[in-house]
Structure 1
Amino acid sequence: MKPKKETTIYDIAAYLNLSSATVSRGLQDHPAINKNTKKKIQTAAKELGYRHNNFASNLRKQKTNTIGIMMHELNSNFMSSVLAGIEKITTEAGYDIIIAHSSESYEKEAANALNLFHKRVDGLIASLSFNTKNLEHFEPFNDKGIPVVFFDRVEEKSENTKVIIDNHKCGYEATQHLIQQGCKRIVMVTGNLQRNVYAQRNKGYLDALRDNHIPYDKSLVLIKDLSEQGGREAAMEILKMKPLPDGAFITNDFSAAVCMKTLKEHGVRIPEDIAIVGFNNDAISKIVEPQLTTVHYPGIDVGEIAARNLINHLKGISNLKHTQTIVVRSELLIRKSSLKKGNKKN
């Protein structure tokens, strides 16, 4: 069956015996067109199956009212909450979003950046993949004056606006809490140390050890992809360590939950044998037994702040060049998984 021809304003004008200019203004709710005529135009448009051509209109205006979102994954509680925050602000401001995800691949991230650039997004909000080597693929945006806001995983030396938490402080506080519980042999399970989030959490871990005169043992730092498999692998490596670590700081709640489950299956008691701290405050942290001590990373706030700053820049309310780094508040939430010294919170 041959598709039906697209209805135009000229079709509506001929149908109502009006000028195309009157129809165009009526569809845009222009005050110069009286209410009855507007109603006739809008009714006819509906009957004839007219669709407003946003693409053509946007080309004339040199803007698309679309924001590109670049994520390194979609199947995480944190990323879902960031996306919810972005979507809330963009919807209120009348912007659409296009979501792309890199699946932790630098090559896919670069291809997605080029695709979003050619889709003429007005701005971009991005979080880098595990193995992103440089920011060259974002240069076309900078060259065209298209604002880019990075969040969570960022390149710290970049001049673009960044929305992050104080990952060093979080790493320090998580490790310090384990030390206060009497832990002296603390394993850290983390992601690629090229990424700012994991590098800074690792630095916080190292500084807490140093400040408490605990020698650093590089064999206790396990670099994983923080997936389900990564959590299982970490547990199996921990089980082989002699002596067994008495504390673990795992920089992702899902991996921490899988690691805990695997350790328990092999007879390790939590927190009696190993006290555990996770990261993100994902929903799973309250479901596992014992409930997981974790760092609250407010994803919704991160998304809202990134989107609001980008849109304010696009609307001329503020200038992103004056805002390099925005640090969002985070906090350690102490639960039973780390409490070696009874159930009282420190």
Structure 2
Amino acid sequence: MKKKTTIHDISRALKINSSTVSRALNNSPRVSQKTKDLIQKKAAELGYQKNILASNLRTNKTNTIGIIVPRISRNFFSSVISGIEETAYKAGYNVVIGQSLESFEREQQLVSTLLSNRVDGLLISVSMGTTNYDHLHNFKNNGGPIVFFDRPIVMGDTPNIGIDDFDASYKATEHLIKNGCKDIVHFSGFQKIELYKQRMQGYITALKNHNIPIREEYILESQLSEADGIELAKKVLSLPKVDGIYSSNDTAAISAIQFFKKEGLKIPDDIAIVGFNNDTISAVIEPGLTTVNQPDVEMGIIASSLLIELIKKTIESPAEHSKTLGTELIIRQSSQKRK
């Protein structure tokens, strides 16, 4: 196996001392640009590769950010990651991405792995199965800063970047009411997740404000997967009367639409449906799905920018830098009953 080129090889080839070579390769201002260009050219000719691991050990930094999301396949999370990655790249950081698949145990393992690999900070949207935050406290105490996004968590002075889930859900539910719906089912995520608590409260408050009774059997809780959407749709058909559905994500809403259509129901005339996330497919299915649009790329940009500042220790009182972003209800055919 060919021996790796070292700074000493470059030093011998140019008859320049190795400390000057090292400074030039690290872009030190103590070396003239002419000498830097000469050394860098020779380094490229000899196939020199900087020892990143050794450099990281010296500086105690890896210039790497860890990202954990529930599912990379979800359009929302892939868009958030796009915003994170672009921001990190411009700031000189690499990213390592893991998906929990809504499993607490998998999330714990991912956090442990990222800590072992000495990432400088963590961006995370916790899983639906997460029951405590011991693994996150451990990362913060022994690794680096954390920024939560999408799914807000109260954990000391740790910031959250998210949306007003209550307000978005209130408007989505009220939209169904204004389109003539009175018997509205809510597809909810697990209530131990604050995000889904807020979305349920928005749904309940909208019903109350329009004098529509709250019926527990009309609130259906699940992980909101594609398979869950079908099972929830089956439960809807067993209820006395349903003329509207507000789903806490598009995935469950879309699979429910497909199931209802196979059963001969007309959307929206028989059942009007509103989703959440504005997944790409929501605009192209038939009928188009009314949904809540979140600023996903913007969320990624803001979350990663904040984390990088926390890594650089330029910010005091991190939680004060939490942000709540705006949303928009995208109205399509799935919710507009014929008058």
TM-score, scaled relative to structure 2: 0.94
Quick check: 138-147 or 7-16, which moved more? 138-147
Distance 1:34 1:161, change over 3 A: closer
- Given that residues 75 and 279 in structure 2 are in contact (C-alpha distance below 8 angstroms), is that contact kept between their aligned partners in structure 1? yes
Identity of aligned residues (%): 43
What residue is the counterpart of 2:125 in the other structure? 127
Choose which of 260, 263, 268 in structure 1 pairs with 2:260: 263
**Which residues of structure 2 form unaligned runs of 5+?**
none
Deviation digits for residues 163-191 of structure 1 (CA, Å, limit 9, x no counterpart): 11111111111111111111111011122
What residue is the counterpart of 2:197 in the other structure? 199
- Structure 1 Cα separation of the partners of residues 140 and 217 of structure 2: 41
AA matched with 2:18: S
Deviation digits for residues 295-321 of structure 1 (CA, Å, limit 9, x no counterpart): 111111111111111112233443353
Distance 1:325 1:36, change over 3 A: closer
AA matched with 1:115: T
SS at match of 2:270: coil
- Given that residues 165 and 195 in structure 2 are in contact (C-alpha distance below 8 angstroms), is that contact kept between their aligned partners in structure 1? yes
- Structure 1 Cα separation of the partners of residues 234 and 163 of structure 2: 31
Choose which of 267, 273, 293 in structure 1 pairs with 2:290: 293
- CA deviation after TM superposition for structure 1 residue 255, in Å: 1.9
What residue is the counterpart of 1:249 in the other structure? 246
- CA deviation after TM superposition for structure 1 residue 19, in Å: 1.2
Quick check: 166-175 or 231-240, which moved more? 231-240
Choose which of 264, 276, 281 in structure 2 pairs with 1:279: 276
What residue is the counterpart of 1:48 in the other structure? 46
SS at match of 1:305: helix
AA matched with 1:17: K
- CA deviation after TM superposition for structure 1 residue 254, in Å: 2.2
- Given that residues 160 and 324 in structure 1 are in contact (C-alpha distance below 8 angstroms), is that contact kept between their aligned partners in structure 2? no
SS at match of 2:61: coil
Q: CA RMSD in A?
A: 1.8
AA matched with 2:42: A
AA matched with 1:114: S
1:1-346 matches, cutoff 5 A: 3-144=1-142, 146-156=144-154, 158-243=156-241, 245-323=242-320, 325-342=322-339
SS at match of 2:212: coil
- CA deviation after TM superposition for structure 1 residue 8, in Å: 1.2
- Structure 2 Cα separation of the partners of residues 100 and 42 of structure 1: 36
Distance 1:134 1:324, change over 3 A: farther
**Runs of 4+, deviation exceeding 6 Å:** none
SS at match of 2:300: helix
TM-score, scaled relative to structure 1: 0.93
**Which residues of structure 1 form unaligned runs of 5+?**
none
- Given that residues 174 and 206 in structure 2 are in contact (C-alpha distance below 8 angstroms), is that contact kept between their aligned partners in structure 1? yes
- CA deviation after TM superposition for structure 1 residue 259, in Å: 0.9
- CA deviation after TM superposition for structure 1 residue 330, in Å: 0.8
AA matched with 1:179: I
- Structure 2 Cα separation of the partners of residues 330 and 76 of structure 1: 18
- Structure 2 Cα separation of the partners of residues 156 and 26 of structure 1: 46
